[in-house]
Chain A
Amino acid sequence: MADVSPPKGSGPLARLEARLAWGLLAPTICAVALVVILPLLAIFWISAKPVSLADLRAPEVVIREDLRGDYEAVGDSANIRYRLRNSSQDQPIRGVTLTDTIPAGLEVSSLDQRCTVDGRELFCDLGDWDGGFRENLMIPVTVGQAYLDGGTRPQDNGVTTTGRASSVLTNATFTFENFKRVFDGEEFWSVLWVTLFYTVFGTIGALLFGLFAALLLNKSFRGQGILRGLYLFPYVSPVIAVAFAWVLLFDPFSGSANALLIQMGVTQEAINFFGQRPLALIMVTLFEIWRYFPLSFLFILARMQSIDSDMYEAADMDGASPFQKFWYLSVPQLLGILSVLFLLRFIWTFNKFDDIFLLTGGNAGTRTLTVNVYEQAFAVSNIGAGAAVAVVIFGCLLLFSFFFFRFMSQEEGL
């Protein structure tokens, strides 16, 4: 009797399909690996390195060459001068050598003992240099007619130098200093608190505003399309443009908002909205809500329009009041999209950098974790510490996405 059980494993067609799939995905995987995975690994590496902004360029030999002395006639003696310097103040360079071509018409008269001349080729072995090393190397020469006839000057042909310098990025020095710096002291906890406040209130605010706006537009009337387009403006316009518009609007000296408040008698003197402590944090959170409510609004509106209207008709028959319909029908129907949006927006708000950076630059108690990365790496010039903060952010992100995927598997609302 023939075997009638289903085939096991993958057949040739399935293998072909899988091969094609990987082939189609390969470019994306390569690109993402290069620009996302590699930098992520690099961040972990750098976070354990004592590296500052100045260390990014490996130490190198800096050289200037010229001809010194009187050299008007044949037989005059002069010096080819090489001014040599280690570009780094503290990193050594090992095995420095120098190779140059002596121009025609210049005869080397005596030679530094580290150098040799082969034909017109000058070669010097300059040994190891400490950080901050500098030297003037003189090669005495006698001037010949060929040089005076307009031969090339010494500095006209290039000098090649070699030397091995270990960059702090690639050597084997590791340190926990960066993480210690990050977690030490009051600052970290205040940064974390600011981040949480910004993230939680920014997310909830954007969701509530989005829900309100979606309720407003969940009916068809003339001009609905225009209003919907209008309400998306904050989201689609460049962040830098709207952030500066806000800064200008709330400027303490020439801002319209202050002028308006003073005129209406709400306040006596101008308020520095983005410059004083609890207010600045509230303002950047409001900006976040303002900028991202359109996104929640779009998603919620899309979900609302897919709710069956039968249910509302049934509720009408049963005599439910408008608020009851909202609370007992709409809200449960929207709960799925609301919670997915909450998780997504929570993660993205947590990751937000540009908004706060442009509004306050992280001053006046608005420094979140992401702004702290920039602050440490570029303002304090401590790349290692910045990377350590980035690692902390990445850790938080993994934690959030764990919850996100646990939740998403039940709630494929998006």
Chain B
Amino acid sequence: MKQLRYGYVTGPALGILWTFVIALTVAIAMSFATGSAFRPSILGALVWGGVLGILCLPGSKWLPVLGTLVVAGVSLVGLGPIAIGSQIWPVSALIAALATAGFAALGLRIILADVTLGAINRHVFEAAVIRFLTGFGYIFFSAIVLIPFYVMVLTSLKNQAELIQNPLDFSVDLSKGWELFRSYDELFTQFNFGTYLLNSFVISVLTVVITLLFAVPGAYAVARLRFRGRAAFSRSILLIYMVPMIVLALPIYIAFSMFGLRNSLGGIIMIYPVTTIPVALYMLQGYFRGLPAEVEEAGLMDGLSRLKVIWKITLPLSLPAMASVSLYVFMIAWNEFLLAFMLLDDPSKFTLTRGIASLNSSEIPRQHLMAGSVIATVPIMVLFLGLERFMTKGLTAGSVKG
């Protein structure tokens, strides 16, 4: 490690790594945006990353700018850290070259703050490495999260022939106008997705309501009231929510087949809340414990019954927790796949997830599958982004099943 702690080693080393990361990112981004051939060049990153690593050391203002222009220039002639294929529209080539060089230099400028050409101490060195890792982390996580969703949305807007011709070309022909949304239109008109959307929504809302009806009194009892077996009860809730669904699904399937409950939304509504009650109970009791007991005792002293106390004091105080639990239960019910898949066979009664599963066949084009996925994903994303604060709090308040 000691040999690394010289500005003339640290700078080029981080420069090479960072330039390669940027070149790779720009290449992937440009490929996905235009469908043309961009790729990072390891040799280019080795040479030019090293150069940039020296040029971007603190000191001169103009050296990094010079470096940017040089690297962009050599990239355009094919010798830089990003290799741009021939027959590429010059504007996108220019954008790629400038983005690579610019972001590499800018990033290095930030990463290498405080690093000097000579020997550097441990703090400066580690701070630089951490800044590099931070930048890399942001790019890495954003890329892995965004790419699948990007592919999902853009695939749903294209047609089969275009997809097979160039799987990388996600550019959207805006001149088509509404024609772009043809697969969505077909899903709603021919594949009944309007009904599925409604089914999923009704089932999820009912699941939330029923779950809360059961879980609120239960959670209150576990959190506040003293009775024998309270600790054991608390644990068995946790234990129950560790039982895998597939183990339960088999007997439930058999029972539903025998009693004729398969293919009925009523059966689904009977089952879903039970899978979510333990989670909700566990999350709520954690929250109830945190509420001051004195307020409730004051209510009791003033002559309220226990149930009135719950209704008039505890519930109004725990509205944020109720919101997060509702959101979480809604999410579970909305995303549930296994039970819907096993118990529903009749296409007029599908939920969204079951409907998407039915699109997974070789006769139905892929963009329909992706359009269905988008339809299922968008509502939950919107709901989640709107109420994100509740969600993150609720998730960490009670440990949560995945």
> CB within 8 Å of B: which residues of A?
14, 17-18, 20-22, 24-25, 27-28, 31-32, 34-36, 38-40, 42-43, 46, 56-57, 169, 212-213, 215-216, 225, 227-242, 244-246, 248-249, 251, 253-256, 258-260, 263-265, 290-292, 295, 298-299, 302, 321-323, 340, 344-345, 347-348, 350-354, 357-358, 370, 373-374, 377, 383, 386-387, 390, 393-394, 397, 400-401, 404-405, 414
Contact = CB atoms under 8 A, between A and B. Distances in A.
B250 A36 contact: no
A18 B277 CA distance: 21
Contacts of B306: 20
Describe B's contact surface by its main secondary structure: helix
Contacts of B31: 260, 263
B370 A216 contact: no
Contacts of B250: 39, 43, 46, 373, 377, 383, 386-387, 390
Given A18-B226, A245-B152, A383 B254 contact: yes
Contacts of A228: 388, 392
Contact of A28 (B281, B353, B366, B400): B281
Contact of B248 (A21, A40, A237, A242): A40
Contacts of A32: 240, 274, 277-278
B141 to A, nearest CB: 6
Given A21-B226, A35-B252, 11 more contacts: A17-B226, A21-B230, A227-B142, A231-B141, A232-B384, A233-B381, A244-B152, A245-B151, A298-B392, A323-B126, A351-B243
A329 to B, nearest CB: 14
B163 interface: yes
A14 B226 contact: yes
A297 B250 CA distance: 33
A33 B1 CA distance: 60
B126 A240 contact: no
Interface residues of B, number: 105
18 contacts: A18-B226, A21-B222, A21-B227, A27-B218, A28-B218, A213-B141, A229-B385, A229-B388, A232-B384, A237-B376, A248-B155, A254-B163, A260-B31, A298-B392, A298-B396, A323-B126, A377-B250, A393-B244
Nearest to B353: A240
Contact of B388 (A20, A225, A263): A225
Contacts of A14: 226
Q: Name the 10 nearest CB pairs between A and B, nearest first.
A: A241-B373, A351-B244, A18-B227, A39-B251, A24-B217, A21-B225, A42-B251, A35-B274, A24-B221, A28-B218
Given A351-B244, A414-B399, A237 B137 contact: no
Contact of B242 (A236, A244, A347): A347
A394 B247 contact: yes
B331 to A, nearest CB: 6
Contact of A216 (B137, B221, B258, B331): B137
B144 A290 contact: yes
A235 B402 contact: yes
Given A39-B252, A260-B168, A295 B402 contact: yes
Given A35-B271, A236-B331, A353-B244, A249 B377 contact: no
A265 B233 CA distance: 59
A220 to B, nearest CB: 14
Interface stretch (B107-115, B291-299, B334-342): B334-342
A348 B151 contact: no
Contact of B244 (A251, A298, A340, A397): A397
